[in-house]
Every structure is written in structure tokens, then in C-alpha cells.
Structure 1
Amino acid sequence: MSRKAGTFLVESLIRSAKHFNKSEVECLMKLFDTLVAKSSSHFAGAGFDRIVFRDTLHSAFGMTDDVMLDRVFSTFDKENKGSITLVEWVEGLAVLLRGTLEEKMKYCFRVYDLNGDGYISKEEMFQMLKNSLLIQPADEEPDEGIKDLVEIAVKKMDHDHDGKLSFEDFEKSVRDENLLLEAFGPCLPDIKSSIIFEQKVFREVPM
């Protein structure tokens, strides 16, 4: 890439990602190149694959839930090509690390809307909660406990009472109670791991 093209790309990413300055974007571009080098040759040059993405989020942010990691990948992969491009990488991290509440609500809703129909259904809630809960009451069918949780969530968050959550339902619930942002599973890094990630990457220490 020529120097002029590189400068244009950095400036474009500063505008689209919003939350990073010039040196931070350049550091994320270097990390991106490192991740592409680890990826399968199929995507060489264009981006990095799902495996590298999952490994990176696991090591950087401690994310381990397979369903959540796949959904986060799909949310980053806006072009639905099965790889993460540089623009998707920088814009996605901008929301993950420094997004406004509005940006994070839209991101979490997309993660939780498993089939992309614009709603979080009871079935989708069940699927996500089933994977994120570790301990089940011994005297109860595990699925029954999760169904109870789903009903509690719907009762609390379904403001228009149609049995599913629209973005409007989700947004109102989260604005009333911020803890509901990750109601159906962890899909954002915690503050501590975000700070450590930024310190490593923006000081250009290899991951």
C-alpha cells in the first residue's frame, strides 16, 4: 500500500470508528496484520478467519462461550464473508472498547438476535441462557429453570407485551436498568480486560 493510500485509510478509519485517534488506529492496523498472518491462507490479505477471531477475543477478553463468540463474529462480519476485514475490525473494537451506551445497545441486540429477524424471541433467550448458565438446581429439570428465567426476562423487558423483544423493548429496559445490557450472555469485555488490551496494543507490545 502506498503511503498516500495508507494515510487515506487511517483518516477514513478515524472518521468511521469515531473513538480512536490516529496512533491508536495505526496500532490496531498493525495488530490486524499480525492476526491476518496467523489466519488460513484462504483469506490472506483480505482479513482473518473465525478461529483467529475467537482465539483473539478469548485471550484478550476471556470470552469463552461458543454461542456468544460466534454471534460476536457475525456482528463484526458485516459483509458476511466469513472473515474480518480491517474496517470491520477497527469499527467493531471501537464499540467493544469505547462505545456509547447507544452503540453498545445496538451491538448487544444484534448479538442476541440469533436469526436476524429484528426480535429476540423466547427460543433465542432460552438458547443463550442455556449456554451461559453453569450451575443448575439439583432438584429441578435444568430446562425448567431456564424457562423460568426466560419468563422473568420477558415479563421485565417486553414492554409492548407481544411475547418477544424488539429493539425498542430492549433499549427501554437497558436505559431503565443498565445491568440488562448483557441480560442474555456476556458479549462485551469487562473494564479490566479492556484496559489491559488497550495498554498492550496502544503501546505496541505484541499480543
Structure 2
Amino acid sequence: MGNKQTKSKDNGKKYKIDNDTVKKLQESTNFDKVEVKKLYEVFSEISEGGRKPLDRAQFKLGLNKLSHCGLKNLDGTPFPDRLFDLLDINKDNTVDLQEFVGGLSMLCKGSIEEKLELSFKAYDLDGNGYISKHELSLMFKQAWISGFKALSYQTNDELNPDDLQNFSEDMAQIFAEGAFSSLDVNGDGKLSFSEFKQFALSHPKITATLNGSKKDVPITFD
């Protein structure tokens, strides 16, 4: 088998780990050999043995498995769809192995600057290099929704979808209004990276409350 080894799973499926690929991924990311191999295994498990790149549903499943690799669980991020878009470098609406491991390397082990840049791109929905108040509000809304959904799972309380959407939107607008007034230093109606950076470095979060339970949701990648 050369430098390839076959792993057998309980369900009978097999996938191959190519040691040359592991070495290249290790050299191009901040992960060590063990972490790369674990991520390779996760990718293979959810992508038909690694033969195909991940679609959005598979990608979210992969995020859920990160804690099994000893990494930060990013499944609870308020913007998994944006994360998928950002890691999909070639814009083919899939995330391949290189994009998966490389992107997670920035999120899990990247420098503060790398995480700040990724957070900024997540908020900059139209990719014009600035964040509008509307974009800020939309991302805050996802943070509120994420927090309340997490609480509902913990407390087994059902949430009315319409109430969830309306409340999250109202809170997001209030939050964005307050944040924007202090962040938009030059008053041009949009946030530059430097203006956003001040906000992100303060480790902002929202706190969702449901029947006495609280859930803090970071609203940047930290």
C-alpha cells in the first residue's frame, strides 16, 4: 500500500490516510501531525471516505466533531454558513480537505490578527471591505438566534420560530445601533477593519436568557 494505511470503521466502511498529504497539510497550517491526522479522519468519515468535498450539511457535521480532535468546537458559532463561505476559497460551494484543514487552522490556532480578519470578512456580507449597520445587525441577529437555540436544547423548552426571529431581530437592531454609534469613529456610516478591530478586541458577546438560564455567545471568532 506504499505510504497509505487503511482504517476500518465499525460500519464496515474504509478510508485511506495518505501520509504525504498529512505532511503537506502539517507544513502549511498551524496544526501538528496528530491534529492533522484526526481532522483528516473526520473529513473522511463525513465525505464518503474523503473522495468528495463537503457540502454545507457535511461541513456543519464536521464542526460538531472538532472537540473529538481536541480542538475548539465551532458548531455553536452564530454564523456557520458564513464560515462555510469563507473557507470555500475557490467558490465552488464545497469545502475540500485543504480548505477544511487550512481554514480551521486559522480559527483554532491562528494569530489574533488572522482571527480578526476572518471575523471582519464574516460580517462583511457583500465583500466590499466595510461593514454596514445592516450587516452588523444581521450578524448580531444570528448570534441571538444561536444563543436561544442552544438554551432551548439545554432546557428542553420549545421556542416559537416567529417569536425567536422577531425578538432576535429587535435585539440585534438595538445592539447594532449602540455598537455602531461608538465604533464608527469617522462617521461615514460604515466600519473599516481598523474600526471593527477595536470592537473585536474587546471580546464582545451577547447573553441570551431563557427561563432563568443564560447563554453567552461570542460574536467574533476568538
Please give the TM-score of this superposition, normalised by the length of structure 2: 0.65
Indicate which of 176, 199, 206 corresponds to 1:173.
199
After superposition, the C-alpha distances for 1:18-73 in whole angstroms (9 at most, x for unaligned) are: x11223222221221112128xxxxx7241111111233246536357x7111011
Count of residue pairs the alignment pairs up: 175
CA contact (8 A) 2:47 2:53 kept: yes
After superposition, the C-alpha distances for 1:126-181 in whole angstroms (9 at most, x for unaligned) are: 2222333258xxxxx95555333212111222233211111121123334x2x138
Corresponding residue for residue 148 of structure 1: 174
Please, which runs of 5 or more residues in structure 2 have no aligned partner? 5-17, 67-72, 149-165, 207-216
CA contact (8 A) 2:205 2:219 kept: no
Q: Return the alpha-carbon distance in structure 1 between the equivalents of residues 35 and 58 of structure 2.
A: 21
Larger helix proportion, structure 1 or 2?
A: 1
CA contact (8 A) 2:204 2:218 kept: no
Corresponding residue for residue 11 of structure 1: 23
Identical aligned residues as a percent: 30
Helix, strand or coil at the partner of 1:133: helix
Larger strand proportion, structure 1 or 2?
A: 2
Please give the TM-score of this superposition, normalised by the length of structure 1: 0.69
CA contact (8 A) 1:113 1:120 kept: yes
Indicate which of 51, 57, 60 corresponds to 1:54.
60
- 1:70-81 equivalences in 2 (<5 Å): 70-81=81-92
Q: Shift of the alpha carbon at 1:2?
A: 6.1
Helix, strand or coil at the partner of 2:75: coil
After superposition, the CA RMSD in angstroms is: 3.3
Please, which runs of 5 or more residues in structure 1 have no aligned partner? 39-43, 136-140, 190-207
CA contact (8 A) 1:68 1:187 kept: no
The farther-off stretch of 29-38 and 126-135 is 126-135
Q: Return the alpha-carbon distance in structure 1 between the equivalents of residues 127 and 87 of structure 2.
A: 14
CA contact (8 A) 2:42 2:65 kept: no
- Which one scores higher on RCO, CA 8 angstroms, separation ≥ 6? 1
Helix, strand or coil at the partner of 1:84: coil
Q: Return the alpha-carbon distance in structure 2 between the equivalents of residues 81 and 126 of structure 1.
A: 28
Matched to 2:55, the amino acid is: D
